[in-house]
């Protein structure tokens, strides 16, 4: 595994490249989730990348600008900039792997960024794997707000009842910080504008959507794209990974079913 900085000098990104241990024709770019979800899933993506590299699939994991180990502050991040970061990471991976086909794995908000980046025409993924994609930004933001308050209440012996009242009365309450990560007014605005109508696929690559049966927004979006004759398939896929927190000590950090499913999809 090789740590590195890449991208333009004005917007460098931190990445981890997992070189292949044997020959092959596929490479993987991981477009991770946002905030606490990125921390929660870090171990899984590390294990996934190591196993793929041993099987001959080079992998690039990276942090969007203003997140993780990349330069910039929390509030420097926004969806448009992160979309460009995906393309910068793709170009770096292309430079390292030559003519291999490059598959993108986008998880949660990273899946929405992958869709937007693939549509931009600046990069050429051969396949998109979208895991629990966020296609309804307002709903996602509300889930994060509610989860943030839940976490606050668990952290204090005597929770403040005013938190719940603020959550219900003020739509901007608990949006400047979500699970310990700063959110700029611009990012908040972009999340509220994020919806299925702005996440159109192209016919240049195959897409697979992996989402729980209860995630109706994701499955409806996939069905709508299929009706437009886009090469997309949607699968019901449930796993025990909790994206935002791990309140129970026996929850798997690397669910076997999730790991095996992703390994299989990358190697199709």
Written as six digits, the tokens of 124 are 């050429």
Stretch 76-81: mean pLDDT, rounded?
Answer: 96
Report the chain's mean pLDDT, rounded to a whole number. 93
Ramachandran region, residue 174 (left: φ > 0; alpha: ψ -120 to 50; beta: rest): left
The residues, ordered by sequence, that sit 6+ positions from 164 with a Cβ below 8 Å of its Cβ are 149
Contact status, residue 112 vs residue 133, Cβ threshold 8 Å = yes
Provide the H-helix boundaries in 156-255: 162-169, 185-193, 216-227
Rounded-to-integer distance, Cα 245 and Cα 214, Å: 19
Residue 133's Cβ-side half-sphere holds a number of Cα atoms within 13 Å equal to: 31
Give the model's pLDDT for residue 159: 83
Residue-wise pLDDT for 42-68, tens only, equals 999 999 999 999 999 999 999 999 999
Residue 263, both tokens = 């390994």
Give tens-digit pLDDT for 124-163. Answer: 899 999 999 999 999 999 999 998 898 888 888 778 888 8
2-136+206-266: CATH topology is: Rossmann fold (3.40.50)
Beta pairing partners, 106: 31, 130
Provide the whole-model pTM: 0.94
Q: Specify the length of the chain in residues.
A: 268
Query: 159-212: per-residue pLDDT in tens?
Result: 888 888 888 888 888 889 998 899 999 999 999 999 999 999 999 999 999 999
Residue with tokens 């993924």: 125
φ, ψ for residue 5, nearest 5 deg: -110, 140
The domain limits of the chain are: 2-136+206-266, 137-193
pLDDT of residue 248: 64
pLDDT for residue 25 is more than 80: yes
Query: Chain centroid to CA 87: how far?
Result: 14
DSSP conformational letter for 108: T
pLDDT value for 267: 81
63 vs 247, residue with greater confidence = 63
Q: Say if residue 249's pLDDT is above 70.
A: no
Backbone angles phi, psi at 60, to 5 degrees: -120, 120
Q: Tally Cβ neighbours within 10 Å of residue 92.
A: 20
The rounded distance, in Å, linking the Cα atoms of 133 and 32 is 11
């Amino acid at each position: 595994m090789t740590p590195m900085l890449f991208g333009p000098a004005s917007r460098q990104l931190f990445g981890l490249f997992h070189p292949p241990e044997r020959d092959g024709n596929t490479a993987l770019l991981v477009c991770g989730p946002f905030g606490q979800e990125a921390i929660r899933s870090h171990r899984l993506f590390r294990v996934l990348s190591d196993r793929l590299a041993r099987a001959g699939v080079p992998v690039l994991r990276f942090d969007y600008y203003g997140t993780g180990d990349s330069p910039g502050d929390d509030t420097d991040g926004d969806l448009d900039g992160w979309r460009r970061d995906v393309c910068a990471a793709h170009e770096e991976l292309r430079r390292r792997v030559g003519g291999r086909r490059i598959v993108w794995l986008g998880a949660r908000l990273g899946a929405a960024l992958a869709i937007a980046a693939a549509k931009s025409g600046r990069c050429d993924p051969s396949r998109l794997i979208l895991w629990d994609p966020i296609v309804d930004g307002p709903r996602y933001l509300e889930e994060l707000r509610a989860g943030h308050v839940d976490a606050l209440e668990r952290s204090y012996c005597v929770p403040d009842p005013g938190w719940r009242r603020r959550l219900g009365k003020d739509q901007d309450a608990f949006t400047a910080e979500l699970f310990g990560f700063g959110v700029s007014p611009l990012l908040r605005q972009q999340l509220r504008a994020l919806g299925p109508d702005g996440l159109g696929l192209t016919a240049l690559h195959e897409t697979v959507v992996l989402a729980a049966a209860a995630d109706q927004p994701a499955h409806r979006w996939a069905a709508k794209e299929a009706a437009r004759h886009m090469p997309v398939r949607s699968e019901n896929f449930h796993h025990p990974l909790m994206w935002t927190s791990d309140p129970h000590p026996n929850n798997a950090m690397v669910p076997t079913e999730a790991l095996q499913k992703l390994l299989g999809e990358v190697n199709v």
